[in-house]
Amino acid sequence: MQREFPEAPLVGVGAIIIEGDRVVLVKRAHPPLQAEWSIPGGVLEVGELVREAAVREAREETGLVVETGELLGVFDRVLRNPEKRVQYHYVLIDFLCRRVAGELAAAGDAAEVRWFTREDLPGLGLAEDTLEVIRKGFGKVEGSS
């Protein structure tokens, strides 16, 4: 699977892991978004269901075992190089997730992993759609309490 300059969009999954007033974010170890904070997630594998992929990616990147809940959104992520050629193209499917086991530990594509409060988020330089889906996740958690 060619991630850079792909011939077709790739399907990615994201795990919005919320616990109380905190959300888990990972600092990416590789492009795209290298050294930036992001939602734990990655590319869907052939034969894998999207919810299974979200659980797998959360475990691989954060050390947490999660269960998926509500679908929070589907987003386009198209990144172009300086010549305006599509360098990365993902369709991202994000799920609200709840930790069921495990301790936070960065692994896989994550250089670092941390819990952040809602107040921490504006200073992290997250993409607007990333902030939007995290806020939506907080709203769903608060609405179910």
DSSP readout, 57-82? HHHHHHS-EEEEEEEEEEEEEEEE-T
112 is catalytic: yes
pLDDT at 119: 94
pLDDT at 142: 86
pLDDT at 145: 59
pLDDT at 14: 97
pLDDT at 92: 96
The one catalytic residue among 48, 112, 119, 128? 112
Contacts of 62 (CB under 8 A, 6+ apart): 15, 17, 24, 26, 40, 102, 104, 105, 106, 107, 110, 113
pLDDT at 109: 80
Regions in the chain scoring below 70 on pLDDT: 145
Predicted model pTM: 0.91
Return the CATH fold of 10-144: Nucleoside Triphosphate Pyrophosphohydrolase (3.90.79)
